[in-house]
Structure 1
Amino acid sequence: MSGAAAAQEVEQDPVVAVEEPVGEVDEIVVTGTGTNISGVKPVGSEAVVMDREAILATGRNNVAEIVRTLPQLQNLGFDEAATGANAHAGGNGNRGTTLNLRGIGSNATLILVDGHRVAPSGAANSFTDAVQVPVAALERVEVVADGASAIYGSDAISGVVNYVLRKKMNGIELGGRYNFSKYNDEYALSATGGTSWSIGGREGSIIVAYEHSERTAIARGKVPYLRQDLRRYGGADFRIVGNVASPGNPGNIVVPSGPGGAPGAPNPAFPEAGGYTYYAIPAGTTGIPSVGSLVPNTANLVDRADYEDLLPQSSRDQVVAYLNQELTDTISLYNQTFYNERELSTRTFLPNNSSASSFDITIQPGTPYYISGLPNVAPGQSYVVQYNLAEHATDAPDFININPDKTLSTTTGLRARVAGDWEGELYYTYGQNRTCGVCYIGNFVNGESDSAFNAAVNAGLINPYSVTPLTRSQLDLVLGTNFQYAQNYFHDSVLKFNGSLFDLPGGTVKAAFGGEYTFTINRLQNGASRGPRNILDTENDANSRRSRTQWAAFGEVYVPLVGAEMDVPLVQELIVNAAVRYDHYSDFGDTVNPKIGIGWKVNRSLALRGSWGTSFRAPGMPELEPGLFSVAAQIPFFPNNSGRSDIDLIAGQPFSNVLLRLGGNPELKAEKGTTWSIGGDFTPEFLPGLRVSATYYNIEYKDQILGPPAGNYLANPANASTYSQFIIPVPARAGCVNGSPSTYDPSLAPFLENFLYGGASITDPCGIRVVLDGRYQNVASAVQNGIDVQASYSVDTGIGTVLIGGNFTKILKNEQRQAPGLPAFDALDRINYPISFRARGNLGYVRGPFSANLFVNHVGGYLNDQPLTIRNVIQPNSEVPSWTTFDLNLGLSFGEDARWSFMRGTRLSATIQNLFDAKPPIVLSGGSAIDMRNANPYGPIVQLALTKTFR
């Protein structure tokens, strides 16, 4: 069906399937890594398939965007867009993309290419990037929305997404597409070619696809919803919040307004400043301003969105090749290889990639630019100047974070008939991913207190108050490099056999079994220009290598208990399928996962199905390894309202001197899931062309790995009780000497070892009175259940074929616990959590070469309970309305029977996303007026596409 995504039954390993004509793919199965019984359908699980025609009709530019049109996918996870105010994109340093079935976590969705795993991506995180292959090479997408670790191993807790590549083609296909909106544009050029041969009666074939794409950036400042000043939408002016501000040129002096250098009560004359006092430096300043010339209770500000990109500039090259060759009558050889090279360039406001603060300079007493007599600044006390480096560095490179990313995967295998109908398969996959999560090359300035910039200011070499641009010699003092380079290597070998065992009255019992061995390497290399001399330092950064070995044994059996020939009332067919898989990991242990599926075909119109199984996710290596990612930071004035008498307060005020520890934890274990589902497929004989499928599912997910909210441990007595195991008081210790670890309290010492970042903040270890352990822990759990419904209907009207289709998901329950002992909370229809109702429907018309499809996309409403304070007033929760958009696709597709020869093999299409320019709902949160997870601000996006096949 043109443009319709329909549920389909399944049959054969797509690795060996030839390219089918669009619309004729009736039975699909995700296979590859794991068990596989040839010639039988999967039993019990829900499957959603998008064929090539449906893929092209979406008008999307990459495979991840295509899959996300399915309602079963929630847009909760990583994306290229930096919706926060920094280029690091909330920990997604290399700006990768993930898929999230059911919204329970991106790492719970397994992504395969032709049934094979690919090398993980990421630097501080480890995940499978969802953009692996070009659209030109894609035959179809298969989604199994069911737990499947018994078949595929780790990660398949909520399901599997499999990109099936085109396998066979004789000729050349050239294509191009161009997308544009009011904010940016993108184009892609592709070429696909293939041929078949016969040598000595041995058949062979090859197909190669190449695609190159370019995309311009989208500046955050051009999108009103993403500016810092959101007062036009009833929001706050986030250009200044407390001691965090986006300074203009000149900048501001900011000092705490409370005693002892602590924040004070909010200033009613300048509420945005919170517990701090601002002094705006006078316009046009070139020297040192006097205390009297400073303007209190005001600030020089810019909107940092004008300096940043939402969506980076992108350049991508992708190549896919598939070779198949018969070697003998019983043995065949195949190779599948794909290569993906991408480079993103993202403008940033701050050269240290920070979203937590402005570029702050600490002015030390006794230095040339120190101003004596500032109110609330005690004699001998330092203070901070907020500085707009971008406006001063006019002779420097732009502050651009470069994210190169290269992925290579190649699988070579042999298939052989062993005995009878038994077949064996042996294959080996090698994959590698190389990426740079943070790459400021020659345009980085570190913002730490001992940075070269602070040193240059306090040495009298740079005037922090002056509006005069920095000279080239001044820039040479402070500009440097910062990189976070990650390499992931993947070796996977699989041997498996499948065939018939014996016959039953209902049919032939079949089985499959095999084993798998995997070796994975994760390397991370960090370096930055640090210290007052601006020296490129790599010794004190992550230069780690972690490896993992894994082996598995698996088996599956297919048992047809009742067949049509048995003439059993109300049971035309009854099939049981059972699988089990054992996995052993070198770094956390063993896991066993079974699955059972039942298929009951009542008659020719009605089929029922059900499944039950357990699944798991192995901890990512960066989650286990502090050497890949870890932070230990001292925070001298951390809010403490815990009421705990064993944690010292500072001068009786609600603050404590805290060591915050984050990152890798070698004690982690596997995450676990239990999934069951029941459903049915209705294809009535009395109404040909109609198909309706419905599935009820239930997922229990436990031991989820989470960085507990360490920032909230001391917020109140209840939190302090819940997270008590992660709160470690540090008593004052007589004889403690800073710089001498042997004198530190034993409860503190282990947390000051084996970490990567934040060391410059630990200036007074002996003053630390509590450790907040926020490292990754197996603490979270979730329970979700819901209903999926898919329907499609086609009818020939005599003047063309009318197509009607729909696919919706209704989540009925999604409860989560953030830690053992905490009550479950309703994590449904709330911002940053799954939306209960998502739907996509289509109305299509086909006549001859012409096709038209109108799609409707619907995201249900939800609650915005994101904490929000405007001018020190806590805002009430608000209801976010639903968002409905329409997409229109028009196409002309000419076959070999076209009247004019030059039109044969030509396909033209035009697609408009958000046809009626539906405005996104206003969602006020910590720095924007839009929820980019459930809407977008782009307005209509137009795609024009042309392909031509030469045979």
Structure 2
Amino acid sequence: MQHWVSGPTGRRSRGARRRPGRAFDGPLRKSKSISREGAHIMSRNLKVGGSLIALIVATSSFATTADAQGSAAAAAAAPAQLEEVVVTGSSIRGVAPVGSNLVSVGQEAITKTAATSVTELVNTVPAITTAGSTPQGQSAYSYYAPQIHSLAGSGSNTTLALVDGLRMPGGGLQYAQTDPNIVPTSALQRVEVLADGASSIYGSDAVAGVVNFITRKTFNGLQVNGRAGSADHYKSYDLNAIWGKTWDTGGFYIAGQYLSQDQLANKLRPFLSQGDYRSVGGSNTNQFTCSPATIRTPASGSNVYLSPSATTTIPGTAANGPCNTSIYGTAIPGVEREGVMAVFTNDFSDKLSVTGKFIYNRLQTFASGLPGALNNITVYGPGSGKGGQINPFFMAPAGEPGATQETVSYLALNSANDYGTDNYENNTVYLTGVADYKLTNDWSMTFSNAMAWSNSVQRQRNVFCSTCAVLDLNGTSQSNGSTTTSAVPGQNIVALNLPLTTANALDVWGNRTSDAVLKQLYVNNTQTQHLNIFYQTKFEVQGKLFDLPAGAVRMAAGAEYMWVKQNVDAVSPNNTSNTSLGARYFVSNLGPRKVKSGYVEFLFPLISEGMGVPFVQALDVNISGRIDNYSDFGSTKNPKIAANWQVNDWIKLRGNYAKSFVAPPLNQVGDPSQGYLRGATGTNASTQIAVPFALYPEVRNVPGCQTVTGPTCTVGGTLNPGLDRSLGAGFAGVVPQTGDSWSVGVDFSPPFIPGLVANVTYWANTFTGGVASPAQPLIINSAALHNRLTICPSGCTPEQVRVFTNVDNGATVGATLPPTVYFMINRDVGNVLNLDVQGIDAMFSYRIPTDALGTFTLGGSLTYFTKFDQDFGDAPFSVLNTSGYNSQFPSIQTKARGQVGWQKGPVAVDVFANYTGKYHNWINTSILPVLSDASGNPIGGGDPVKADLTFDVHASYEFEGDLLNGSQVYIDVKNLFDKDPPFYNGNTTGVGVGAWGFNGFTSNALGRLMSVGFRAAF
């Protein structure tokens, strides 16, 4: 079984071996084995076996890892049959990355996870941030790109995802991060994970490490794979196939995949749609948006009549919300994905080899729309003196029959339960070409090129038109009923629907609304489109410089050029009516960004086995460095030094230090021609926020706060409104985010315990200047962000508002900014996040072959954080073993995965245990308050969240013989005991649309998923 690694440009063997009886391996071709020096180096570097992270991933199939170890030993014993290899994390062929952790997981391990996508595969790795989460739908903060060691998210993409060592285009609508799922699973040869800083080789984004998805070089024959899965009210289907033909000097294959996964509505899982969670120690998430409407009058103040027939009021606090609106949400969107990949490779001579690749992938996600909600809309009744604004259906509450004005909150239900759709579509075209030319016996050069287009579109069809509903309630587009306020900022456009009659008014108190009015409530259509265009070309030379007593000094050097551009086009309502009558258009052209880079890498073998140095069988040192020059923010330099110390045949010590960086994403920088907008508007009316008197004494003088007796005053309501701004990072002069990393580790496979392989690594990463838009609670409670909130007790001046909104430079504002502004909160994207994270990765794999009972495998892998400090430019504080304080990534201390397997002949059974340790919920909705120090930084408290332990089972039967040789059938069960996720009092959007009651970053909402599948080889 071949698991050997591919490298920075995806170049692999020119002489792949064919396994007897397998139609899907590469052809017998002209042998081009690596040199004697390369064989010696690779034998020495790979003798102990895979690295820590390799074996973490390989807990998906510990038998696979053990077989790979055996293959390594066999290869070392027969160097004449060795394949030429290039390793992820190194530009030098034939050499494993020195000092680093590397994973190489092949087809057998992929099969044992029954993965339908690479997201599902990498989510089995404890070191991946989203390990254990639902492998369906976009991550709200990283698209589909994996993140190693929870090292930030969003614009701070600290993990670089590659396909065959080459970059992919950005995708999605948020941070332009990659989607490696564009590779059909049938074309995937293996996955390599490098969990160390690697900007010295790859440039931007490789702070936490690299995940490289390696595709097959060649394929001969036909293989068809299918899987059908079922959970409660959920179905999934996957069909993928690959066909190929090889010849003496090369080959061609084409692979395709179709994947369909149902959406999961909140109402289908009680833990997602309970609404009032107080019985399980949570919050009441029910709302006052009800049908019929709930009512407030000037006399009732903040107290609420629950219906027009109510004779008494109740306090309008969150705990009293009567209506469960969560039953209408979608926790996980449905998915359809179709893709095709074609690969051609050929050796045109003993010196020249060329490989070309084409990928087309189409992704759709879909979710049902939600019933529209209105909050605190002013309506007028008889006796109000409002003339044509009087709603003919007006009903005063029974407890206050003389009321002539009220504010209503309403949920716009309809009998058809049809509230439109929210769909997402991505189309990606990806082309690569790689040419290798052998200059001499010791030197070669490589030219590679990649180009791609990724077009992402979010469409809402026939969704709620809130402006239409307000027009039908009070005759204006304004929630306060103003007939003079412009609906469009900066223009004198007043939208009116006067006079209100029974034909054009909305009845929120009963069911007297006309069919025409009801129909036009769900007519809004919106669209947002992001087009990412990407081009990269690279030239590299490498070979042997000279000989030292321990071996050859080798070097690789290269130059790169990258060109990136992003276009944004959005259509949304302009607050005059529905989009067919009044629309707002936002167009932004970001870039192009031009990047010129150069890099060099040296390998120094300092001590070899033949030199007879005590306790040093081998000592190798690797030094690399890279310079990147960006057209929009200048240059950055990143070195790395690493070493391997082979103590003896079964113990290897390793370590490295690296500096890395992340270039600010284009769409986070914003459009400078439009005041650095990164969306249709830069400033809007703020939501309500709780401001502590201790941190902001001036808030005591804001209207509504003078008589408050508690520690905080809530501002942002009708009495004390404010502004919220979120402009791109270019407005604040963003610079690259930087990282420093180091790790030390030991790999060992003791000969006195045959079959045992184990690894331990202690790693540390510091990350400075992470690009993010800080959430309002972080600004309010963090001393370093204190100046992002401005309090104006007497109202902010027009000059303050003008400067804050940045309208002079082209920025735009929301439709209905308050006439008097009492606070302004600045959530501009900037270099705000600093992290200091350390931890331990550990694993063991024990393979026990027996003559009579077959082969048993035991194994376990663990990621354990020992430190997780962060700051925003002031004193650091710990968020270790918490989730929720950072909305973009968790910092849970312990994740682990274990396996027990058995195989005899064609039958194999594997049981996996997935564990997430207990932690504390530090989201701002936790029941137990998060405790803070005098600076507002958290020091403890929060809700305890229980540990999560689930079990998976995979059983397979592989056919032997001439007809079905290599074909397989299997049964796979995820979450065998159908265990609900631990209760989490909050709403995360780590997967899907998100829902209250579970942590989407770490928990799977599907429940028990049973699948049957087959692999037919012809």
Report TM bin, short chain.
Answer: 0.7 to 0.9
Determine the C-alpha separation between the residues in 2 that align with 1:847 and 1:373: 77
Residue 916 of structure 1, aligned match among 956, 959, 977: 977
Structure 1 position 424 matched with structure 2 position 445: yes
Change (3 A) 1:725 1:511: same
Which residue in the other structure is 2:379 paired with? 363
Letter in 1 for 2:745: G
For 1:113-124, what aligned pairs fall within 5 Å after superposition?
113-124=163-174
Shift of 1:657: 4.3
In structure 2, the residue matched to 1:561 is 606
Task: Give me the whole-angstrom Cα distance separating, in 2, the residues matched to 1:937 and 1:533.
Answer: 38
Matched residue SS, 2:116: coil
Deviations 1:798-854, CA, capped at 9 Å, x for gaps = 02122222211121111111x112442233344562222211121212222111111
Q: 2:242 aligns with which of 181, 192, 204?
A: 192
Change (3 A) 1:386 1:372: closer
2: CA distance, partners of 1:207 / 1:360: 61
User: Offset of 1:358 from its aligned partner?
Assistant: 4.7
- Gap change, CA 1:733 and 1:770, over 3 Å in 2: closer
For residue 50 of structure 1, what is the aligned residue in structure 2?
105
Name which of 771, 776, 800 aligns with 1:710.
Answer: 776
* Residue in structure 2 matched with residue 219 of structure 1 by the alignment: 265
Alignment partner of 2:183: what SS? Answer: coil
For residue 269 of structure 1, what is the aligned residue in structure 2? none
Structure 1 residue 938: Cα displacement? 2.9
CA–CA distance in structure 1, aligned partners of residues 817 and 219 of structure 2: 62
- The alpha carbon displacement at 1:314 in A equals 1.7
Shift of 1:478: 6.1
Q: 1:280 aligned to 2:307? A: yes
SS at match of 1:48: coil
Output the CA distance in 1 between the equivalents of 2:277 and 2:343: 51
The alignment yields a C-alpha RMSD, in angstroms, of 3.7
Aligned to 2:762: 696
Aligned to 1:796: 849
Within-5 A mapping of 1:269-668? 275-282=302-309, 302-350=323-371, 358=374, 361-363=377-379, 366=386, 367-369=389-391, 371=394, 383-391=406-414, 394=416, 398-437=419-458, 439-447=459-467, 454=477, 459-460=500-501, 461-465=504-508, 466-468=510-512, 471-472=515-516, 475-476=519-520, 479-536=523-580, 540-625=585-670, 626-629=676-679, 631-635=682-686, 640=691, 641=693, 642-645=695-698, 649-650=702-703, 653=706, 655=715, 656-666=720-730, 667-668=733-734
Cα drift, residue 696 of structure 1: 0.9
Which residue is equivalent to 1:936? Answer: 1004
AA matched with 2:983: I
> Please, which moves more after superposition, 148-157 or 560-569?
560-569
1:881 corresponds to 2:946: yes
Identical-residue share of aligned pairs (%): 25
Matches within 5 A, 1:99-138: 99-106=146-153, 107-138=157-188
> CA 1:939 to 1:539, structure 2 compared with 1: closer, same or farther past 3 Å?
closer
- What do the CA deviations read for 1:111-137 (whole angstroms, capped 9, x no partner)? 111111110112233222342322222
Q: Distance in 2 between matches of 1:617 and 1:608?
A: 29
Instruction: Report the equivalent of 2:991.
Output: none
**What is the one-letter code of the residue matched to 2:308?**
I
Deviation, 1:878, is 3.4
Cα separation, partners in 2 of 1:771 and 1:327, compared to 1, 3 Å = same
Q: How far did residue 694 of structure 1 move?
A: 1.2
Once structures 1 and 2 are overlaid, which stretch shifts more, 558-567 or 632-641?
632-641
3-state SS in 2 of match to 1:120: coil
**Equivalent of 1:906 in 967, 977, 1002:** 967
* Cα pair 1:450 1:760 within 8 Å, conserved: no
Counterparts in 2 of 1:13-32, with a 5 A limit?
14-17=10-13, 18=16, 23-24=67-68, 26=72
Does residue 162 (structure 1) correspond to residue 230 (structure 2)? The answer is: no
Query: Contact 2:870 / 2:878 at 8 angstroms: preserved in 1?
Result: yes
Q: Partner of 2:36 in structure 1?
A: none
* 8 Å Cα contact 2:354/2:436 also seen in 1: yes
Aligned equivalent of 2:203:
153
User: What is the distance in 2 between the residues matched to 1:452 and 1:531?
Assistant: 13
Q: Distance in 1 between matches of 2:357 and 2:237?
A: 26
Amino acid in structure 2 at the alignment position of 1:16: R
Equivalent-residue separation in structure 2 for 1:141 and 1:35 (angstroms): 16
Give the secondary structure class of the aligned counterpart of 1:555: strand
Q: Deviations over 1:354-395 (max 9, x none)?
A: xxx656644366213185977999999975322322326x4x
Find the partner of 2:125 among 67, 70, 75. Answer: 70
Residue 60 (structure 2) aligns with: none
Distance 1:30 1:468, change over 3 A: farther
Identify which range, 398-407 or 27-36, moves more after superposition: 27-36
SS of the residue 2:413 aligns to: helix
Query: Partner of 2:110: helix, strand, or coil?
Result: helix
- Return 374-383 or 217-226, whichever deviates more: 374-383
**Deviation readout 1:413-444 (Å, 9 max, x if unpaired):** 2111123321111111111211123x113435
Q: Which residue, out of 168, 172, 181, partners 2:231?
A: 181
Alpha carbons 1:493, 1:518 under 8 Å: kept = yes
Deviations 1:448-500 (A, max 9, x none): 99778855597441323232565246524761211111111111111111111
Amino acid at match of 2:788: F
Pick which of 623-632 and 132-141 moved more: 623-632
Task: Give, in whole Å, the separation in 1 of the partners of 2:772 and 2:360.
Answer: 32
Give the whole-Å Cα distance in 1 for the aligned partners of 2:18 and 2:280: 51
Which structure has greater strand proportion?
1
Q: For 1:896-937, what per-residue CA distance to the aligned partner results, in whole angstroms no more than 9, with x for missing partners? A: xx2xx4332311111111223334322333563322323234
More off after superposition, 295-304 vs 886-895? 295-304
Q: How many residues align?
A: 879
Quickly say closer, same or farther: Cα 1:360–1:146, change in 2 above 3 A: same
The correspondence of residues 699-778 of structure 1 with structure 2, limited to 5 A, is: 699-711=765-777, 713=779, 719=782, 722-728=784-790, 744-745=799-800, 748=803, 751-753=806-808, 758-764=813-819, 767-778=820-831
For the Cα contact (< 8 Å) 1:252–1:300, is it kept in 2? Answer: no
Q: Name the aligned partner's letter for residue 599 of structure 2.
A: F
CA distance in 2, matches of 1:938, 1:174: 27
The farther-off stretch of 447-456 and 576-585 is 447-456
**Superimposed CA distance per residue, residues 865-894 of structure 1 (whole angstroms, 9 cap, x where no aligned partner):** 434477999997432222222211111123
Query: 2:302 matched to 1:236?
Result: no
- Counterpart of 1:946 in structure 2 is 1014
Is 1:253 the counterpart of 2:295? The answer is yes
Q: Distance in 2 between matches of 1:167 and 1:372?
A: 73
TM-score (norm 1): 0.85
1:794 maps to a residue whose letter is: R
Contact 1:175 1:947 survives alignment (8 Å)? yes
- Structure 1 pair 623/300, CA: closer, same or farther in 2 (3 Å)? closer
Residues 378 and 680 of structure 1: is their aligned pair in 2 closer, same or farther, counting only changes over 3 Å?
A: farther
Q: How does 1:818-833 map to 2 (within 5 A)?
A: 819-831=872-884, 833=890
Shift of 1:294: 8.6
Decide which of 892, 905, 919 is 1:835's aligned counterpart.
892
Q: Measured at CA, do residues 59 and 602 of structure 1 come closer, stay the same or move farther in structure 2, by a change above 3 Å? A: same
Alpha-carbon separation, structure 1, partners of 2:684 and 2:404: 22
Q: Counterparts of 1:611 and 1:62 in 2: how far apart (Å)?
A: 32
Equivalent residue letter for 1:386: S
Deviations 1:116-169 (A, max 9, x none): 111011223322234232222211111111111111111111111111112222
User: What whole-Å deviation, never above 9, does each CA across 1:635-654 have from its counterpart, x for those lacking one?
Assistant: 49765535444996226645
Question: Aligned letter for 2:197?
Answer: G
The one-letter code of the counterpart of 1:692 is A
